């Protein structure tokens, strides 16, 4: 009964959303409270439908097909709750819930927008109908025999996994809001001020995307057992593309708000970033590419999702070209002005996202034109083409905040010169003394030092003048600097070694010694396996690591759990290979300096969301 | 100025066109490398013995791996019944299962299988390279595997993967 109720509520919210669109576009209501109440009803209906599916999961109702394929009576209760978004249908429902929530929040704060919520509801309605007709999570499996349910993918039975999708969806769904605002602006051609909320909403989206992506990266680091934190996997890329576009959107909308420039460009970016987000959803859910994330699906669903994506992009661009804004456009900017810095920022970010997108779909293009040959585009391509662009971008990130709007000479010339000189010199020394010198080490550290100095200078200046300071920007940029530092040091100075050890045998890695102490078997509710104890001795310190190999009987999957000793200076990371004999194991050890800085930086970037944008110290 | 709208629309259409095309390409017939079938011996659910030699009597035989604990098997069951009505003989492999439950299942939902191998410990499955259930194999002349499908067998899979090989 409860699943039927959930299904009914989902259909109800779909009709409600369609009604809101048609009423808003055909008979715009005078009373602006209409949108608020309609959005509230849609949200509540989806929320209750979500609760209905949760009840089916928590009560092990295996007559529901989706529950039967994603849950198991032995699963701990917390994972039963989170198993709802472990598969295609449920995660789509979670996405819809978040999207409806964002729309409600938007309508609550911006009741003067005539059509924004209608355009957001077009996206909501399209995905709702896709869920109801082609991916219904409430589908029953009747009649039913003694079925005990299959299992949540063991790789996903993990804390980071359970909060990774909700965070990421907060970001993806958030990109619908700027799109709605931009479309409303094009349709009504009111004051440019109407575009102002794009800035805060793109920051909201961006923060959650940052958090979601870094949680995914953290999860991959300790769960996949390879010791990497970024694999240029198609799904990672399809989250990175909207993230880059959203970063561009934040900057472009800041320029639009402050100087009324880049108006059409900001609008185009809202369309592009939503397109990136929907295209990512298509790539993951259509099964067109294979990766840990992809849900194996039939092509019918893929075609429908692709159609949704296509229609929304075409709708956006048609409105953009038919009604593009042309009242008093300003285009002049000096090359020493802040405007020009934002232009560089946008040009590089959009180019970067195009490069990543091309690399991601290139195997598809190649397969079509070569008549079925398959290739993969791997990390070497992405590293080679993205790193130089990223470094140049970061260089301008250090200089940009020190420039002035409308400036026509280099402001702060002395400071900028000092920052560049001192950073380069210091980095040259540091790279030589503490690390074996390499070009990327030198450039990476120099840029990190420039970023930190330029941010410090900004904070320092605002203490001594009455100028306002954007602390949110400081936090975001500082986070990126720390992340860049973590990437530079950990990728260039990691040590790794593969070995086979018997019980009580040792092997030395660098200045430290690893000993296999003992092996034992483990047995839990939902898996069993082997756990090996290694001791890692470095000078006087002895660490214990406990890597495991697990077997999950319900889904017949074998996984490796890396043994990790985390610390702020360096991580020691051991992953088990094959069992060789009675007490012997093949294993791999990796020592990764400062790898934690990557996620520390990402968390600081996320926290930028909660910091005030205008603060006066005096 | 009019060139930008055109270029954008063209770019969007070509990108989406490629993706559409790839989706259709993916749903087409898959090439499959033939593999030799490892010979095996086992018992049937009714207690008789069975060897893979018996498969050589038919030019084509269909092996379906199933179990009562497997949700996908429940899903494909009605389609297997349809195939049986069409006159296609299916040999079942009851995989890592309980004999009593298996009989109950066949009573309740119908029995599409001409014979049912009882693979209690998964030994036959191991020789065939089974990784889970449901899986379906098409065996030619009793000694070569011409198709190995993992997952639920439905009409679409049948028409794309199995029917073309059988018509040949």
Contacts of B105 in chain A (CB under 8 A): 145
Q: What does the pLDDT average to over B119-128?
A: 79
User: Tokens at residue A261, please?
Assistant: 């420039």
CB contact under 8 A, A68 and B71: yes
A313-332 pLDDT, tens digit each: 999 999 999 988 877 677 77
Q: Which residues of A13-32 are buried (b: 16+ CB within 10 A; e: fewer)?
A: bbebbbebbeebeeeeeeee
Confidence of residue A149 (pLDDT cuts 50, 70, 90): low
pLDDT higher than 70, residue A429: yes
Peptide bond into A143 cis (omega under 30): yes
ipTM of predicted complex: 0.74
CB contact under 8 A, B27 and A150: no
Residue A579: its pLDDT value, please?
82
CB contact under 8 A, A368 and B18: yes
Q: Cα dist. A486→A5, A13, A385, A477, A493 in Å?
A: 50, 45, 20, 14, 11
Lowest mean pLDDT among A135-144, A370-379, A534-543, B19-28: B19-28
Question: Do A90 and A65 form a contact (C-beta atoms < 8 A)?
Answer: no
Residue A146: its pLDDT value, please?
40
Helices (H), A327-438: 338-369, 379-399, 413-433
B13-58 pLDDT, tens digit each: 888 888 888 777 655 444 445 667 878 888 898 888 888 888 888 8
| Averaged confidence pLDDT in chain A | 88
- Kindly report the nearest CA distance between residue A530 and chain B, in angstroms: 21
CB contact under 8 A, A321 and B71: no
Which chain A residue has its CA at the smallest distance from B29's CA? A372
Lowest mean pLDDT among A223-227, A532-536, B151-155: A223-227
Confidence of residue A438 (pLDDT cuts 50, 70, 90): confident
Confidence of residue A143 (pLDDT cuts 50, 70, 90): low
Rg over CA atoms, chain B: 21
- B2 three-class SS: coil
Residue B31: its pLDDT value, please?
46
Which chain A residue has its CA at the smallest distance from B75's CA? A141
Which chain B residue has its CA at the smallest distance from A302's CA? B23
Question: Do A593 and A487 form a contact (C-beta atoms < 8 A)?
Answer: no
Q: What is the DSSP string of A68-131?
A: HHH--TTS-HHHHHHGGGSSHHHHHHHHHHHHHHHHHHHHHH-TT-SSHHHHHHHHHHHHHHHH
Asked if A144 has any chain B CB less than 8 Å from its own CB, the reply is: yes
Tell me which residue of A317, A341, A320, A177 sits closest to A251, measured CA to CA.
A341
Q: What does the pLDDT average to over A248-276?
A: 94
Residue A145: its pLDDT value, please?
44
- A49 three-class SS: helix
User: Tokens at residue A608, please?
Assistant: 């930028």
Question: Do A498 and A586 form a contact (C-beta atoms < 8 A)?
Answer: yes
Residues in chain A: 618
Residue B28: its pLDDT value, please?
44
Which of A268, A321, A370 should one mutate to test binding to chain B, selecting the residue with the greatest count of B CBs within 10 A? A321
CB contact under 8 A, B26 and A313: no
pTM given for the model: 0.84
Asked if A364 has any chain B CB less than 8 Å from its own CB, the reply is: yes
Name the residue with higher pLDDT: A367 or A449.
Answer: A449
CA angle A156, A159, A161 (to 5 degrees): 45
CB contact under 8 A, B19 and A306: yes
Tell me which residue of A481, A209, A255, A254 sits closest to A353, measured CA to CA.
A209
Question: Do A497 and A484 form a contact (C-beta atoms < 8 A)?
Answer: no
Contacts of A298 in chain B (CB under 8 A): 27, 156
């Amino acid at each position: 009964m409860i699943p039927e109720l959930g299904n009914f509520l989902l259909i109800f919210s779909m009709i409600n959303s369609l009604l809101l669109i048609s009423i808003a576009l055909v008979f715009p209501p005078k009373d602006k409270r209409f949108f608020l109440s309609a959005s509230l009803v849609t949200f509540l209906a989806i929320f209750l439908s979500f609760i209905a599916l949760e009840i089916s999961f928590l009560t092990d109702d295996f007559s529901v097909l989706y529950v039967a394929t994603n849950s198991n009576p032995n699963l701990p209760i917390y994972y039963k709750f989170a198993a709802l978004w472990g598969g295609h249908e449920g995660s789509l429902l979670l996405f819809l819930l978040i999207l409806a929530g964002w729309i409600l929040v938007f309508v609550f704060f911006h009741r003067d927008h005539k059509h924004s919520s209608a355009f957001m509801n077009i996206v909501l309605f399209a995905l709702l109908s896709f869920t109801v007709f082609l991916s219904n999570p409430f589908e029953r499996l009747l009649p039913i025999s003694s079925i005990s349910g299959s299992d949540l993918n063991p790789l996903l039975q993990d804390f980071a996994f359970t909060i990774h999708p909700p965070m990421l969806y907060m970001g993806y769904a958030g990109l619908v809001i700027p799109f709605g605002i931009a479309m409303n602006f094009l349709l009504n051609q009111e004051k440019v001020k109407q575009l102002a909320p794009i800035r805060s909403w793109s920051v909201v989206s961006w923060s959650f995307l940052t958090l979601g992506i870094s949680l995914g990266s953290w999860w991959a680091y300790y769960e996949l057992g390879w010791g990497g934190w970024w694999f240029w996997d198609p799904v990672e890329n399809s989250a990175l593309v909207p993230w880059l576009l959203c970063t561009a959107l934040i900057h472009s909308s800041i320029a639009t708000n402050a100087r009324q420039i880049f108006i059409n460009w900001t609008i185009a970016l809202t369309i592009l970033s939503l397109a990136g987000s929907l295209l990512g959803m298509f790539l993951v859910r259509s099964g067109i590419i294979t990766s840990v994330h992809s849900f194996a699906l039939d092509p019918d669903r893929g075609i429908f999702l692709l159609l949704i994506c296509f229609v929304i992009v075409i709708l956006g661009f048609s409105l953009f070209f038919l009604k593009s804004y042309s009242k008093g456009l300003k285009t002049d900017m000096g090359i020493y002005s802040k405007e020009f810095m934002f232009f560089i920022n946008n040009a590089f970010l959009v180019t970067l996202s195009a490069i990543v997108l091309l690399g991601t779909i290139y195997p598809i293009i190649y397969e079509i034109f070569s008549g079925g040959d398959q290739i993969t585009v791997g990390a070497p391509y992405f590293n080679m083409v993205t790193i130089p662009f990223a470094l140049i971008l970061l260089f301008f990130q250090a200089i940009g905040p020190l420039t002035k709007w409308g400036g026509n000479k280099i402001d702060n010339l002395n400071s900028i010169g000092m920052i560049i000189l001192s950073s380069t010199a210091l980095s040259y020394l540091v790279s030589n003394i503490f690390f074996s010198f390499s070009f990327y080490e030198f450039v990476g550290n120099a840029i990190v030092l420039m970023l930190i100095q330029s941010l410090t200078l900004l904070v320092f200046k605002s203490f001594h003048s009455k100028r306002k300071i954007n602390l949110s920007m400081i936090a975001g940029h500082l986070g990126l600097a720390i992340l860049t530092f973590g990437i530079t040091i950990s990728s260039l100075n990691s040590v790794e070694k593969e070995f086979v050890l018997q019980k009580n045998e040792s092997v030395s890695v660098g200045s430290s010694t690893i000993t296999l102490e003992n092996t034992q078997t483990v047995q839990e509710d939902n898996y069993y396996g082997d756990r090996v104890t290694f001791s890692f001795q470095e000078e006087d310190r002895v660490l214990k690591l406990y890597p495991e190999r697990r077997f999950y009987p319900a889904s017949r999957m074998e996984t490796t759990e890396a043994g990790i000793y985390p610390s702020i200076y360096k991580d020691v990371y051991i992953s088990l290979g094959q069992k060789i004999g009675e007490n012997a194991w093949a294993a791999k050890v990796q020592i990764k300096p400062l790898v934690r800085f990557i996620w520390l930086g990402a968390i600081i970037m996320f926290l930028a969301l909660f910091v005030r944008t205008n603060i006066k110290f005096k | 100025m009019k060139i930008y709208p055109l270029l954008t629309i063209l770019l969007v259409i070509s990108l989406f066109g490629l993706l559409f095309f790839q989706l259709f390409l993916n749903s087409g017939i898959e090439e499959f490398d033939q593999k030799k079938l490892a010979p095996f011996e086992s018992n049937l659910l009714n207690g008789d013995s069975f060897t893979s030699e018996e498969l050589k009597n038919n030019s084509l035989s269909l092996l379906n791996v199933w179990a009562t604990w497997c949700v996908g098997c429940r899903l494909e069951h009605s389609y297997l019944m349809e195939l049986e009505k069409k006159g296609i003989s299916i040999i079942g492999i009851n995989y890592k299962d309980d004999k009593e439950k298996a009989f109950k299942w066949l009573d309740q939902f119908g029995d599409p299988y001409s014979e049912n191998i009882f693979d209690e410990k998964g030994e036959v499955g191991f020789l065939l390279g089974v990784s889970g259930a449901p899986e379906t194999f098409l065996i030619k002349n009793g000694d070569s595997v011409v198709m190995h499908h993992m997952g639920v067998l439905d009409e679409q899979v049948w028409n794309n993967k199995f029917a073309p090989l059988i018509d040949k």
